[in-house]
Structure 1
Amino acid sequence: MALSASKMGLWDWDLQTGAVTWSPETFAIVGLEDFDGGFDSFAKLVHPEDLPRVMEQVDRALREKNEYTDEFRITRPDGQERWLCNVGRPTLDEGGVPVRLSGTVQDVTERKQSEQVLKGYAQRLIALEEELRKEVSIELHDDIGQQLSALGFNLGYLRKNLPAGVDKNLVATLDDSRRLAKEINGAVRNLMVELHPLPLEEFGLAGAITDFAKQFSKRTGLALSLRLSPVLPRLPAQAELALFRITQEALNNVLKHAAATEVRISLDIKGALLHLSIRDDGQGFQPKGEHQQRAGTGWGLTIMRQRAALVGGSLRIETEPGAGTTICVEMGVAGR
C-alpha cells in the first residue's frame, strides 16, 4: 500500500540469467501489463537522449560495486512521457563479483515538472547575469582599459623626457607609478576575461580552460595540471559557457576554501558522454548537513548544478574531510 501511494516500485535484475523481475507497482509506473523479463525490453522504454547516461550509470555501479541514483525519462505504451527516479544496488557473491542488481523506481514526474518551471526562472537569471558580465567587460575595455593604456603611455613619455639631474625620489616615484599602472591594467584585463571569456568563442572549451588555468595559476600560485582531450568537438555555445563557468567557479572555490596545493582538471569524451572533473588535494569537507554548501559561496554549488542541468548535464561532488574534493560533470554529446 505504501509503495502504491508513493508511486514507487521494486525491481531485480539477475545478472547471471539476465532475467528482470518487477513488482506490480513497477508495472503500473511504466504502463505495462506484460513484460518478457529482458533488460533490452526495459531499455526500449527509456528516452533515447537519456539511455546512454542510464547505461553508463549501471555500468559504473557494477564496475565500482556501489549504489547509484539516476533520473531519466520513459515513454509509456500509451504515449505518456514520465520521469523516473531509479535507485539500484549490486549484490556481490563470496568472491566480490556482482550477481544481482536490485532497487526501487519512483515516478517523479510532478516534481520534475515543478523543477522545470524553476529551471526556466534560473535560466533567465543566468542569461541576465551573462548579459551584465558582457556589458561590464565591454565598459572596462572601452573606458577604463583605454584610459589606463593612455596613462601608461603618458607616464612612459614623462619618464623618457625627464631633464638631467632631476631628483632621484621623483624618478623612483614615477617608475613606481608606471609599475602600478601596468599592474592595474593587467588586473583589469584578467577581470575582463573572468567576466566575458573571449577565448571561449575563438578557441572552444578546451582552449578557454587552458587560457584561464594559466592566468589563474600565475595569479594565485596554485599548481594546476590539465588533461584535456585533443579531439573534443565544438559544443553548443550555451554548453561551452556553462562548463567554463563551472570550472571557473570550482577553481575560485578551491582558492577560497580548500587549502589545496594542486588542482587537476580533466575534460574528455567517453562514448556518448562528456566528462569534466576538477579535483583538488585540499582539506575536503563533510558533504551533508551544514557543510554541504562549503563547495561554493554566493551562487554556490546549487548554481553550479543548475548550470549543468540547463544544458542537459548533471553534477555530482565527491569529497570527505582530509581527502580533497572532486567536482564531476557529465552531459550527453549529440551525434556520438
Structure 2
Amino acid sequence: MTVYRKISLLMLAVFLVIYLFGALLYARQARHDVERELDGVAGLAQSLGVPASLPASLVESVRHLRPASEPGTGYGARVPDWFSDMIAGQSVRPVLNGWQIDPSDEVEEIWEGFLLISGSYAIGMALCFLALFVMVRRGMRTLSSLSGAMEAVSEGHLTSRLPRQGEQELDSLVCRFNSMAAALESEQQTVSRLVNELLQLQDREREHIARVLHDDLGQYLTGIRAQSRSLLYDPELNERQKQQARDLAEHCETIQKHFRHLLQDLHPLVMEQLGLGSAIRHLSEQWQQLSGLDCHLAMDERLPEFTGEQQTHLYRFLQEALNNISRHAHASCATLAVARNDNELSIEVRDDGVGNDHLPDNAGLGVRSMRERARCLGGEAQFLSRRGEGTRIRLAVPLARRYPTTGGVL
C-alpha cells in the first residue's frame, strides 16, 4: 500500500469519527431544543382560544400548532423517518384546548441545518484530501527523483544532482544526497587519477624492462649465437664439438624467438616505429600464431592520431581482450573490428566461445583493467556475453576535433 493511501485511510477514519461525534452532539442538542420549543408552544396553546374562535389567518400563522380537527401532514419525504424519530420521538403529542402540537416544522428546519452542516463538512474534507494529494504528490515526486538519482549513482553516474526544494525536510534530504554524490564523484576522480597514474607507471616499467632486456640480454644472446656459429668453422674442433656448437646456436635462436615475443608483450616497439595501425595488425598476427586460433581483422585505414599514452591504453585494451579469449573463451576464432566514425572510434572484439552469463559481474583483474583503460581514454567499454553464444566486447572512444586522420603506414 502506498503512503498516500495509508494517510488517506487514516484521515478518512479521523474525519468519520469527528463527523459521527459531531452528529451525535448535534442530534442531542436538537432534541433538547425541540423539547424546549414544544414546552413553550404548549403554554401558548393554553393561552389561546379554541381554533374555531380565532381568525383563519391567525390559525395558519401559528407555528408548531394546528387544529386538532385537521389531519396532520407529517414530516414529508424530505425528512427521513429515522431522523424524525431521533429528534422528535414517536409519541403522539397531547391535544390542548383544541390544538394539536406538531413539531414537523422544527424537525424540518433541524434536518435542513443538518444537511447544510454535513455538506459543508464534506466540502471541507474534500478540500483537505485535495491539499493532501497535492502535497503528497509533490513530496513523492521529489522522492521519485531521489530514487532515480540514487539508481543513476549506483550505475556509476556520479554527476547526478537534485534541485533545491521549498519544503525544509525535503530540501535537507536533497542537500544530503547532493553532498554524498559530490563526495563520491570526488573520490571517483581521485581513484581514477590514481589508477591512471598506476597504469602509466606500469607501462613505463614495462617499457624500461623491455629496453633493458633488449639492450643487455638480447645483445648477450646475439653474441653467444654468433660465437656458436663461428665455432663451426674452427678446424681444430672435431665433429662432436661442432654439433654441440650447432645445438647451442639453435637454442639461442629459440630463446631469441621467445624473447622477441616477450619484448613485444612488454612493450610494442612496432607501435613507436610504424604507428598504432601496424601495432594492431602485428598484435593480431602474433596472437594468432601463439594461440593457434584464427583472428579476422577488419580495420579502418583512417585511424586518428592519439597521443603515446592513449595508444598504449588502446593497445593494452586489445591485448587483454585477445588474451582473455585464448585463456577462458574456449573459442575457435576471434574477430577484431576497428572503425572510425565522425565522432568516435569504435572497436569490437568478438569470439565464438562458451560465453558467460555473469560477465562482467564476476570479472577478474583483466576485465577491470580494460574498464579502467577505457575510462582513461574517455570512452566506455561494454561486455556482452551469454552462455553458448560467445562474448562481444565493445569500446567507443569519443574523438575530439583536434584528432586528425593518420596518413602513415598501417
Instruction: Please give the secondary structure, in 1, of the residue aligned with 2:239.
Output: coil
Contact map agreement 1:209 1:244 (CA 8 A) in 2: yes
- Separation (CA, whole Å) in 1 of partners of 2:395 and 2:255: 35
Aligned twin of 2:197: 124
Structure-2-length-normalised TM-score: 0.54
Which residue identity is paired with 1:126? L
The 5-angstrom pairing of residues 158-169 of structure 1 reads 158-161=231-234, 166-167=239-240
1:230 aligns with 2:301: yes
Contact map agreement 1:277 1:329 (CA 8 A) in 2: yes
Q: Which has the higher helix share?
A: 2
Aligned twin of 2:398: 332
- Separation (CA, whole Å) in 2 of partners of 1:275 and 1:134: 27
How far off is 1:161 after superposition? 2.7
1:114 aligns with 2:180: no
- Separation (CA, whole Å) in 2 of partners of 1:327 and 1:189: 28
Aligned twin of 1:317: 383
1:292 aligns with 2:358: no
Aligned twin of 1:142: 215
Q: 1:146 to 1:70 in 2, by over 3 A?
A: same
Structure-1-length-normalised TM-score: 0.65
Q: 1:189 to 1:288 in 2, by over 3 A?
A: closer
- Separation (CA, whole Å) in 2 of partners of 1:192 and 1:274: 28
Q: Percent identity?
A: 25
Which residue identity is paired with 2:362? Q
Contact map agreement 2:359 2:384 (CA 8 A) in 1: no
Which residue identity is paired with 1:209? I
Which residue identity is paired with 1:258? A
Q: 1:200 to 1:171 in 2, by over 3 A?
A: same
Structure 2: segments with no counterpart, 5+ residues: 1-138, 165-179, 404-410
- Separation (CA, whole Å) in 2 of partners of 1:178 and 1:189: 16
Q: 1:142 to 1:254 in 2, by over 3 A?
A: same
Q: 1:200 to 1:165 in 2, by over 3 A?
A: closer
- Separation (CA, whole Å) in 2 of partners of 1:266 and 1:193: 21
How far off is 1:109 after superposition? 5.0
Q: 1:177 to 1:3 in 2, by over 3 A?
A: farther
Q: Which has the higher strand share?
A: 1
Q: 1:160 to 1:233 in 2, by over 3 A?
A: same
Contact map agreement 1:314 1:330 (CA 8 A) in 2: yes
User: Of the candidates 245, 260, 277, which is equivalent to residue 331 of structure 2?
Assistant: 260
1:151 aligns with 2:224: yes
Aligned twin of 2:271: 200
Q: 1:3 to 1:183 in 2, by over 3 A?
A: farther
How far off is 1:333 after superposition? 0.5
Aligned twin of 1:308: 374
- Separation (CA, whole Å) in 2 of partners of 1:251 and 1:76: 42
How far off is 1:271 after superposition? 2.6
- Separation (CA, whole Å) in 1 of partners of 2:395 and 2:197: 22
Contact map agreement 1:268 1:274 (CA 8 A) in 2: yes
1:186 aligns with 2:186: no
Contact map agreement 2:200 2:309 (CA 8 A) in 1: no
Contact map agreement 1:3 1:9 (CA 8 A) in 2: no
Q: 1:3 to 1:279 in 2, by over 3 A?
A: farther
RMSD: 3.1
How far off is 1:9 after superposition? 7.1
Q: 1:221 to 1:210 in 2, by over 3 A?
A: same
Aligned twin of 1:4: 142
Structure 1: segments with no counterpart, 5+ residues: 11-24, 30-68, 79-106
How far off is 1:76 after superposition? 11
- Separation (CA, whole Å) in 1 of partners of 2:202 and 2:238: 54
| Structure number with higher relative contact order (C-alpha < 8 Å, ≥ 6 residues apart) | 1
Instruction: Please give the secondary structure, in 2, of the residue aligned with 1:292.
Output: coil
How far off is 1:77 after superposition? 11
- Separation (CA, whole Å) in 2 of partners of 1:135 and 1:9: 49
- Separation (CA, whole Å) in 1 of partners of 2:141 and 2:187: 22
- Separation (CA, whole Å) in 1 of partners of 2:223 and 2:206: 24
Runs of 4 or more above 4 Å deviation? 69-78, 107-110, 162-165
The 5-angstrom pairing of residues 32-181 of structure 1 reads 71=157, 109-161=182-234, 166-167=239-240, 170-181=241-252
Q: 1:136 to 1:120 in 2, by over 3 A?
A: same
Contact map agreement 1:280 1:325 (CA 8 A) in 2: yes
